[in-house]
C-alpha cells in the first residue's frame, strides 16, 4: 500500500483517523494500524519486524544496564550484527553469492559436472522498508551506547517508533532521541493537523502530478535498446528521471511529514531544494538529509571524519558514499553511483571547491546539474553496462536520430506541463509563487486561499488516480 493510492487515501486513512480519534489519540491504535499497513503489502515479513522490535527493546536495556564499558560494547556489537544480518541476507545475499559462484565454477564442473551458467541463484524477496527500519534500530542502540539517551522502558512506544506507518517503508530516517518526548506525549491539535494536511497534499501532488507523469517517459526511454537511443532522447530521459526521483521521494517524504504532524509528531524536512545547490557538497546537505546525516554521524565521524590526515579524510568520504550507494541497492551500478558521488566530494575538498567559489553562479549550478544527472544515469539503469550505454548516448554518441523514435512520442502536453511545474517548484520561488497565486485567485483571508489551493490539488490528484494513471514508487526498490 502506497500513500498515493485510492486504497490508502479513501479507505485506510479515514478508518485510521476514525479509530485514532475515537480512542482518544491512542498510541495503541497507531501501532495496530501501522502493523495493518505493513501487513497489507507483505504479511509474511510481519514476524521479522516484530522480532526485530522485541530484540532491539531487550538489547537497549542490556546496553544501558551493562556493568562496564566493555560489556556495553559487546552488547551494542551484538545489536549491530543482529540488525544488519537480515538486511545483508535479504538484500545482498544474491549479490554476494554470484561472484562466489563464478570463483568456484571450476570446482562445480570437476566435482559434479555442473556448469556455473546452469546454476541459477534466485533473488530473495526484500522485506518492505527493511533498509529504513534497520537504520532506525541501529541509531537507537548506538545512541544508548553513547549515553545520548536512555533505553525505552515501554515496548509499545519503541514499537510505535520503529513501525509507525508514516515513516516505516520509506523514511525519513528519524532518530529516537529526537522524537522520544513526542512519542511519550504526542501533541495533537487542530492547527497542527491543518498544517499537516496541507503538507501532505503538496507531497501527494508532487508525487502524482509531477513524478508519475514524467516517470512514464523516463521508463520508456531507459527501456530503449542502445541502437534506438539517440542523444536527444537520452537527455529527455535523464531530465524526466531527474525530476521523477526528486518529486517521487521528496513528495513521499512530505507526505510522511504531513501525516506525522496530523498525529502529533514533528519530523524534520528531508529535502531542501537540492537542485539549486552550488556544489556537490551542498547537494548532499540538501538531498535526503536524514540519510546523509545518518551516515555522517554513525559512520563518517566514527571513522575519524575530518579530524584525521587529509588522505584519511578523503578515504573516509569515499567509503561512506560507496556504502551509501550499496545501501540503495545490491548492484554494481549503485556501487558506481556511490563511488562517483564520493569522488566528487573528495575532488571538491582537494581544491575544486575554491575554483567553484570564484566561478559565477551559472557555472556552479551547471556543474551540479550535470554531475547529478550523469550519476542519475548510473542510478536508474538496470545494469552497469546499461548505464555505460546511456552515458555514451548522453555524451553525443547515441543512435542515429533518423532511426530512433521521435522525441515527440515522449513529450506530450501533460509531460511538458509536469516538467515545467517540476522546474518551477525545484526552488523556493515556486512555493512563494504558488501561495501568492492561491491567495489572488480566492477572495478572502490568505489562509482561505491556501486551503482552496490545497483542495484544488487534491481534486486533481484524485482525478488522476481514479483515471488509473501510472503510479510507480522508486524507493520501494530499496
Could you tell me what percentage of the chain is helix, strand and coil, using 3-state DSSP and rounding each to the nearest 5?
A: 75, 0, 25
Q: What count of other Cβ atoms lies within 10 Å of the Cβ of residue 417?
A: 13
Grid cell digits, residue 394: 548522453
Specify the 3-state DSSP secondary structure of 231.
helix
Q: Which residue has the cell 563518517?
A: 300
Residue whose cell numbers read 492561491: 438
Q: Which cell goes with 339?
A: 563511488
Q: Check residue 246 and report its DSSP letter.
A: H
CA of 214: how far to CAs of 111, 250, 291, 418, 470, in Å? 52, 15, 25, 7, 10
Cell of 266: 514533528
Q: Among candidates 427, 3, 464, which has minimal Cα distance to 204?
A: 3
User: Alpha-carbon torsion 446, 452, 458, 464, what sign?
Assistant: negative
Q: Give whole-number Cα distances, 383 to 250, 332, 335, 336, 404, in Å.
A: 25, 7, 11, 11, 22
Question: In 127-251, where do the E strands start and end?
Answer: none
- How many residues comprise the chain? 478
Q: What three-state secondary structure class fits 304?
A: coil
Q: Which residues, in sequence order, are bridge partners of residue 17?
A: none
Cβ atoms 160, 82 nearer than 8 A: no
- Select which of 328, 341, 365, 389 is catalytic: 328
- For residues 96 and 379, what is the distance between their CA atoms, to the nearest angstrom? 20
Catalytic annotation present for 341: no
DSSP character string of 96-118: HHHHHHHHTHHHHHHHH---GGG
Which DSSP state fits 477?
A: G
The distance in angstroms from the start CA to the end CA of the chain is 15
Q: Which of 357, 278, 281 is nearest to 313 (CA)?
A: 281
C-alpha distances in angstroms, 222 versus 217, 237, 328, 478?
A: 9, 7, 19, 19
Cα–Cα distance for residue pair 249/171, rounded to 1 Å = 9
Q: How far apart are CA 82 and CA 294, in angstroms?
A: 19
Please name which of 130, 183, 178 lies closest in space to residue 161, comparing C-alpha atoms: 183
Task: Give Dmax (Cα) for the chain.
Answer: 83
Catalytically active residues, by annotation: 328
Amino acid at each position: 500500500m502506497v500513500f498515493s493510492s485510492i486504497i490508502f487515501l479513501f479507505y485506510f486513512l479515514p478508518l485510521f483517523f476514525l479509530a485514532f480519534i475515537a480512542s482518544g489519540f491512542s498510541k495503541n491504535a497507531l501501532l495496530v494500524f501501522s502493523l495493518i499497513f505493513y501487513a497489507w503489502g507483505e504479511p509474511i515479513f510481519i514476524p521479522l519486524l516484530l522480532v526485530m522490535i522485541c530484540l532491539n527493546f531487550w538489547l537497549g536495556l542490556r546496553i544501558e544496564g551493562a556493568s562496564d564499558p566493555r560489556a556495553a560494547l559487546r552488547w551494542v556489537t551484538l545489536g549491530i550484527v543482529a540488525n544488519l544480518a537480515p538486511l545483508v541476507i535479504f538484500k545482498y545475499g544474491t549479490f554476494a553469492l554470484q561472484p562466489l559462484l563464478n570463483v568456484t565454477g571450476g570446482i562445480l564442473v570437476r566435482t559434479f559436472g555442473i556448469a556455473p551458467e546452469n546454476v541459477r541463484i534466485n533473488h530473495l524477496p526484500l522485506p518492505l522498508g527493511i533498509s529504513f527500519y534497520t537504520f532506525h534500530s541501529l541509531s537507537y542502540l548506538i545512541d544508548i551506547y553513547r549515553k545520548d539517551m536512555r533505553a525505552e522502558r515501554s515496548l509499545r512506544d519503541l514499537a510505535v517508533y520503529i513501525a509507525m506507518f508514516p515513516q516505516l517503508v520509506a523514511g525519513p530516517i528519524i532518530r529516537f532521541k529526537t522524537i522520544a518526548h513526542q512519542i511519550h506525549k504526542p501533541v495533537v491539535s487542530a492547527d497542527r493537523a491543518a498544517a499537516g494536511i496541507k503538507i501532505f497534499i503538496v507531497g501527494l501532488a508532487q508525487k502524482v502530478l509531477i513524478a508519475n507523469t514524467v516517470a512514464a517517459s523516463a521508463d520508456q526511454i531507459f527501456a530503449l535498446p542502445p541502437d534506438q537511443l539517440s542523444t536527444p532522447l537520452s537527455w529527455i530521459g535523464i531530465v524526466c528521471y531527474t525530476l521523477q526521483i526528486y518529486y517521487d521521494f521528496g513528495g513521499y517524504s512530505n507526505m510522511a511529514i504531513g501525516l506525522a504532524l496530523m498525529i502529533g509528531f514533528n519530523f524534520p524536512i528531508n529535502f531542501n531544494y537540492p537542485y539549486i545547490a552550488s556544489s556537490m557538497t551542498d547537494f548532499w546537505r540538501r538531498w535526503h538529509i536524514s540519510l546523509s546525516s545518518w551516515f555522517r554521524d554513525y559512520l563518517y565521524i566514527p571513522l575519524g571524519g575530518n579530524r584525521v590526515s587529509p588522505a584519511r579524510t578523503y578515504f573516509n568520504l569515499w567509503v561512506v558514499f560507496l556504502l551509501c550507494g550499496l545501501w540503495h541497492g545490491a548492484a554494481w551500478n549503485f556501487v558506481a553511483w556511490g563511488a562517483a558521488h564520493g569522488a566528487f566530494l573528495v575532488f571538491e575538498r582537494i581544491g575544486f571547491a575554491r575554483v567553484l567559489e570564484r566561478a559565477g553562479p551559472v557555472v556552479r549550478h551547471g556543474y551540479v546539474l550535470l554531475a547529478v544527472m550523469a550519476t542519475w544515469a548510473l542510478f536508474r539503469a538496470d545494469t552497469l553496462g546499461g548505464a555505460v550505454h546511456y552515458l555514451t548516448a548522453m555524451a553525443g554518441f547515441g543512435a542515429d536520430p533518423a532511426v530512433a523514435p521521435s522525441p515527440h512520442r515522449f513529450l506530450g502536453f501533460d509531460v511538458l506541463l509536469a516538467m515545467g511545474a517540476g522546474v518551477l517548484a525545484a526552488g523556493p520561488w515556486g512555493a512563494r509563487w504558488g501561495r501568492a497565486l492561491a491567495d489572488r485567485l480566492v477572495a478572502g483571508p490568505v489562509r482561505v486561499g491556501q486551503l482552496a489551493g490545497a483542495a484544488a490539488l487534491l481534486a486533481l490528484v484524485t482525478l488522476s488516480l481514479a483515471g488509473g494513471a501510472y503510479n510507480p514508487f522508486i524507493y520501494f526498490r530499496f
